[in-house]
Structure 1
Amino acid sequence: MHEEWMVEVDDRDQPLGRVLRSTFPFGEKIHRTTFIFVLSDDNQLCVQTRATSKGYCPGLRDLAAGGVVDWQESYLSCAQRELAEELGLEGKLTLLGKFLHKSQGNYSFGVAYGCRHNGPVNPQDDEVTSFEWLALDELLQSPGPAFTPDSLDAFHRFKGFLPYL
């Protein structure tokens, strides 16, 4: 069995040490995450529905690809890896910013990126059950499952920058 290691950080995002992901107290201790907003040239955002097998927010919609930063992995490397794993995409990532998020089950520093993509999306079945392209100005009113609290937080913080990617 493959063991995943991640980094625990303090409230200034300074590393405290490595921790097995399976034993990490999510929502209590701080870890690092990434968010990648994928936007088409006509300003439609790729919104994913998380697999029901996911430990965090199963079956909810994600406004961004992304995930937990592995031990000794940079935010950028994690963002590139997660974009490829979740949506089968590679692309130039634009840094949007960094923020501290806290909600039930998630206490993390997040770094948000954006990219433009107009071609096909190839979601990984064990990560994403479906995806849809939604207009930036209408997506929060779209019917369907709720959005994950962390991707919604990131979206509210950086939505003003997305049309300028």
Structure 2
Amino acid sequence: MVALYDDAGEVVGSAPRSVMRARNLRHAASSIVVRDPIGRVYLHRRTTTKDVYPGLLDFAAGGVVLAGEDPGLGAVREVEEELGVTGVPLEALGVADYADEHTRYRAFRFVATWDGPIRWQPEEVSWGEWVTVEELVRRLDDDARSIVPDSVAVWAAIVRSWLADAG
């Protein structure tokens, strides 16, 4: 069961994930960017079996917030499931809203700093690598269509600020 949200960002009910997807109901999702101690970002390819944006690149792990679940705890669960990142604090970076013909949600954004091994969840991640913020911004500028649009929408300004801060 997935928590459903209204336009003001309040929980208004729940529905099975299949119903939420079929009707494109507004929900909440965690979105976690994983950085290493020198500031690189982990970029990964979604499997071709994902229900939304299959096969595209992504620089945020995450997933739907379950009914009754705290979004921060959902973020901890998702980054551990997808990338094997565990036992590190997540820095909350606020919320952003996203909507298109495939999905509508409130993104609870977090950043994790991780220096351990990445372990992909085979059902969700097919490949990945560490990229510099400069390389990620270049990809956003030159080939944004290869990256999931929701991550671009909810993270691009923050990623660009990281590049400006480094320069």
Instruction: Identify whether the pair has TM-score above 0.5, normalized to the shorter chain.
Output: yes
User: Please, which of 115, 129, 147 is the counterpart of residue 112 of structure 2?
Assistant: 115
Partner deviation per Cα, 1:75-133 (whole Å, 9 max, x = no partner)? 10110000110001112100011011112311110010001112210111111001111
User: Please, which of 17, 22, 25 is the counterpart of residue 18 of structure 2?
Assistant: 22
Following superposition of structure 1 onto structure 2, how do residues 52-67 of structure 1 map, counting pairs within 5 Å?
A: 52-67=48-63
Give the match for residue 155 of structure 1: 155
Where in structure 1 are there 5+ consecutive unaligned residues? none
Shift in Å at residue 42 of structure 1?
1.6
Shift in Å at residue 157 of structure 1?
3.4
User: Please, which of 91, 94, 98 is the counterpart of residue 97 of structure 1?
Assistant: 94
Give the match for residue 146 of structure 1: 146
Q: How many residues align?
A: 160
Letter in 1 for 2:28: R
Between the aligned partners of 2:16 and 2:25, the Cα distance in structure 1 is: 13
Is the 8 Å Cα contact of residues 62 and 75 (structure 2) preserved in structure 1? yes
Give the match for residue 50 of structure 1: 46
Letter in 2 for 1:13: G
Change (3 A) 1:34 1:27: farther
Is the 8 Å Cα contact of residues 97 and 154 (structure 2) preserved in structure 1? no
Between the aligned partners of 2:98 and 2:162, the Cα distance in structure 1 is: 19
Where in structure 2 are there 5+ consecutive unaligned residues? none
Shift in Å at residue 26 of structure 1?
5.9
Is the 8 Å Cα contact of residues 21 and 103 (structure 2) preserved in structure 1? no
Over the residues paired in the alignment, what is the CA RMSD in angstroms? 2.1
**Which is helix-richer, 1 or 2?**
2
Following superposition of structure 1 onto structure 2, how do residues 58-97 of structure 1 map, counting pairs within 5 Å?
A: 58-90=54-86, 91-97=88-94
Change (3 A) 1:26 1:93: farther
Change (3 A) 1:18 1:39: same
Is the 8 Å Cα contact of residues 24 and 104 (structure 2) preserved in structure 1? yes
Between the aligned partners of 1:123 and 1:30, the Cα distance in structure 2 is: 28
Is the 8 Å Cα contact of residues 7 and 18 (structure 1) preserved in structure 2? yes
Q: TM-score, normalised by structure 1?
A: 0.89
Shift in Å at residue 29 of structure 1?
2.6
Q: TM-score, normalised by structure 2?
A: 0.88
Change (3 A) 1:26 1:158: farther
